[in-house]
């Protein structure tokens, strides 16, 4: 079999001492994760049943989002595809619409089509948020429209609240369901500053991640009305997602809700401070300016491979990791990477990040020419 290139999570922990990357392996050591789990479990915690961690997690998410019901899934990929399939079967339509850089299409190998026979209708400019005009111009009947809040691959951008409400109303008037890809809803709420249940109430189905900002082991929760989740439970079983002994995943999610969710506003403020310092210096560009959430992109005036080599050298020589993945750009002289601020980034002062970026670009300019 051909070798698989290592991903950003596969680097040996020992080579990294500090990292700006949220999901760096130094923040994910088994010892650290297991210690966190012990903080939310006691000797009387059962592995399953109404008092088990999965049921507790489902009730907590349902209460937080105001949906009345919630269902645990082992992955967000499965949860979202199941939600879209239910919307499609109810309406007798197999097309759904979303931003061109929707996670469902970019990162999931078209599972919505291969497994469920659904068709993706990309909406709008891939480098900008989709608009009400984009949605109004769709010419085919849709089962659902997906909003990814925030839109990760364009820097964690969000539509303004009134615009979002107007878009959902337009979609509903045409008979389509509204689905929220809320993998990063915890971060999005820091911009809208509305209760989670008010945001969730716009949508027919809401998916949230236990892994992204909450730093769980894995797992997701789908929130909706009880009838929808009854159908979703059948599909979860059909797809092999009704796993027994899911309590470690649920416990990690509960730990994230306890320890990290209250910190999201502070993470956003630090993201704004980092981005402001970067843009004041002017060597690189942080976008959006200012960040709407604890997520932003750093755009660099250097080629992707040169930046990757410079980043490797900084890890090898200094033990400092700035990114997990470098993104190419249409201009081959430029690239970017994502910053998601969590506890790991609070250890990096704004001026230190500016100095590290300057060092990164100096190394990229003086290193070997890109292949």
- Residue by residue, DSSP assigns 259-318 as HTGGGHHHHHHHHHHHHHHHHHH-SSEEESSS-SSSEEEEEESS-HHHHHHHHHHHHHHH
What is each CA distance from 240 to 69, 82, 86, 202, 354, in whole angstroms?
21, 12, 17, 30, 46
pLDDT exceeds 50 at position 159: yes
pLDDT exceeds 90 at position 174: yes
- Per-residue pLDDT tens for 227-252? 999 999 999 999 999 999 999 999 99
Terminal CA-CA length for the chain: 26
Rounded CA gap, 71 and 368, in Å? 51
If one compares 132 and 1, the residue with the highest pLDDT of the two is 132
* Mean per-residue pLDDT, 4-26: 73
pLDDT attached to residue 125: 97
pLDDT tier, 330 (very low <50, low <70, confident <90, very high otherwise):
very high
- For the chain, give the percent of residues with pLDDT over 90: 89
Say if strands 220-224 and 69-73 run parallel, antiparallel, or are unpaired.
antiparallel
**In the CATH hierarchy, which fold is given to the domain comprising 39-259?**
3.40.640
- Per-residue pLDDT tens for 72-81? 999 999 999 9
The answer to whether 202 and 161 have CB atoms below 8 angstroms apart is: no
**In the CATH hierarchy, which fold is given to the domain comprising 13-28+262-366?**
3.90.1150
Rounded CA gap, 43 and 26, in Å? 29
Among the listed ranges 2-11, 56-65, 217-226, which one has the minimum average pLDDT value?
2-11
Rounded CA gap, 226 and 221, in Å? 14
Residues in CB range of 3: below 8 A, 6 or more apart: none
pLDDT exceeds 50 at position 4: no
**Domain definitions of the chain by residue range:** 13-28+262-366, 39-259
């Amino acid at each position: 079999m051909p070798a698989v290139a290592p991903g950003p999570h596969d680097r040996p922990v020992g080579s990294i001492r500090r990292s700006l990357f949220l999901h760096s392996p130094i923040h994910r050591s088994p010892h650290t994760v297991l210690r966190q789990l012990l903080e939310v479990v006691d000797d009387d915690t059962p592995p399953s049943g109404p008092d088990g961690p999965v049921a507790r997690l489902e009730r907590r998410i349902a209460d937080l989002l105001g949906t009345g019901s919630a269902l645990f899934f082992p992955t967000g990929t499965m949860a979202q595809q199941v939600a879209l399939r239910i919307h499609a079967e109810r309406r007798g339509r197999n097309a759904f619409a979303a931003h061109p850089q929707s996670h469902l299409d970019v990162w999931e190998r078209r599972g919505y089509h291969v497994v469920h026979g659904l068709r993706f209708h990309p909406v709008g400019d891939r480098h900008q948020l989709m608009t009400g005009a984009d949605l109004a111009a769709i010419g085919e009947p849709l089962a659902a429209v997906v909003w990814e809040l925030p839109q990760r691959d364009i820097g964690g951008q969000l539509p303004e609240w009134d615009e979002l409400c107007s878009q959902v109303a337009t979609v509903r008037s045409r008979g389509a369901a509204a689905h929220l890809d809320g993998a990063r809803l915890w971060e999005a709420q820091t911009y809208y500053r509305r209760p989670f249940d008010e945001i969730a109430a716009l949508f027919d189905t809401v998916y949230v991640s236990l892994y992204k900002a909450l730093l769980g082991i894995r797992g997701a929760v789908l929130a909706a009305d009880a009838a929808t989740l009854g159908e979703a439970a059948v599909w979860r079983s059909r797809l092999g997602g009704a796993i027994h002994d899911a309590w470690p995943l649920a416990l990690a999610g509960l730990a994230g809700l306890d320890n990290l969710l209250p910190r999201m506003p502070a993470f956003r403020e630090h993201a704004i401070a980092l981005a402001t310092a970067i843009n004041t210096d002017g060597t690189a560009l942080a976008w959006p300016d200012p960040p709407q959430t604890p997520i932003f992109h750093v755009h660099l005036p250097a080629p992707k491979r040169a930046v990757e080599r410079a980043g490797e050298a900084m890890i090898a020589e200094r033990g400092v990791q700035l990114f997990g993945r470098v993104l190419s750009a249409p201009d081959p002289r430029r690239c970017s990477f994502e910053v998601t601020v969590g506890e790991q980034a609070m250890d990096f002062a704004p001026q230190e990040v500016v100095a590290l970026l300057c060092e990164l670009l100096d190394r990229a300019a003086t290193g070997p020419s890109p292949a």
